[in-house]
Amino acid sequence: MRRVVPNLFRLFLLIALVAFLANPQSFASFLSRFNHPDAPVIYNQGELWSLTLQHLRIVAIATFGASLVALVFAILVTRPFGREFLPLSRSIVNIGQTFPPVAVLALAVPAVGFGEKPTFIALLLYGLLPVFENALTALTTLPKNVMEAARGVGMTGWQRLWKIELPLSAPVILAGIQLTAVISLSTATIGSTVAAKTLGEVIIAGLQSNNLAFILQGGLIVAALAILIYDAFSWAERAAARATHSRGR
């Protein structure tokens, strides 16, 4: 029973999100309660479905890039030849947390121009830390008996990495990617301030025109996507944990 209610909520949320994106006008009567009588209710300066897909595209690319870079750094500093680079790697991945995304956007625009590129740079830098720290923790806390057994059967360092270390570390690494994806999803809204096509465009339009209906549309879509993406990664983590448990048997 405990699982049925959350699952039903997620299903309802997914159906409601798809229904709204497919036909937002059907929700106009509900949203009109939050708006001035003569103001437009549904965002009319672009298709919400298209903006949502473009928003997800930027987030997916940035999350993949941040995860790849952070994982490479974590693998490097957990190898005997790369341990001396740990302080440098930590400094690099902390850059995104040191500078707010808005500051990164301001610095990136003169170099790469307006649009998706500065948004991608800001999201990539901001998403490095969770994946790096989770991967580092996972790779340095592996069961010693398993690692010794792998060495005992003659596995090389790279074989241990691909066949033992990464599979066993997968649940913890996925938790870091999950956090990066959710953070990127919400942070991507500020990309619209530098002409990137994201759902932030709807929120900004609402703020500029004092249109609460627009703000609700953009905010609720982002919130719904965040919940669904979080749940998707949670499912992947559980699947990876089961696979890890089976491997350890």
Task: Tell me how far apart the alpha carbons of residues 6 and 122 are, in angstroms, rounded to a whole number.
Answer: 33
Cα separation of 247 and 244, whole Å?
5
What pLDDT, on the 0 to 100 scale, is given for residue 5? Answer: 53
Helices (H), ranges, the chain: 4-22, 28-31, 48-77, 86-93, 95-98, 101-112, 116-140, 144-152, 157-160, 166-187, 200-209, 212-248
pTM: 0.89
Q: What is the pLDDT of residue 61?
A: 95
**Phi, psi for 99 (deg, rounded to 5):** -100, 125
Tell me what pLDDT residue 6 has.
67
CB-based contact 63:124 (threshold 8 Å)? no
Please state, in angstroms and rounded to a whole number, the distance separating the CA atoms of residues 226 and 220: 10
Q: Where are the beta strands (DSSP E) in 85-199?
A: none
241 burial via Cβ count (<10 Å: 0-12, 13-18, 19+): middle
Instruction: Report the interhelical angle of 48-77 vs 86-93 (nearest 10°).
Output: 170
3-state SS, residue 219: helix
- What tens-digit pLDDT sequence spans the chain (249 residues)? 455 556 788 888 889 999 999 888 888 888 888 877 778 888 887 788 999 999 999 999 999 999 999 999 999 999 888 888 888 888 888 887 787 788 888 888 888 888 888 999 989 999 999 999 999 999 998 888 888 888 888 888 788 888 889 999 999 999 999 999 999 999 999 888 888 889 999 999 888 888 898 999 999 999 999 999 999 999 898 888 887 766 555
* Domain extents in the chain: 44-248
User: CATH number of the domain at 44-248, please?
Assistant: 1.10.3720.10
pLDDT given for residue 178 in this prediction: 95
Whole-number pLDDT of residue 39: 80
Q: Look at residue 245 in the predicted model and tell me its pLDDT.
A: 65
pLDDT attached to residue 246: 63
Are 64 and 124 in contact by the 8 Å Cβ rule? The answer is: no
Using a 10 angstrom Cβ sphere, with 0-12 exposed, 13-18 middle and 19 or more buried, the burial of residue 26 is exposed
Q: What is the pLDDT of residue 244?
A: 73
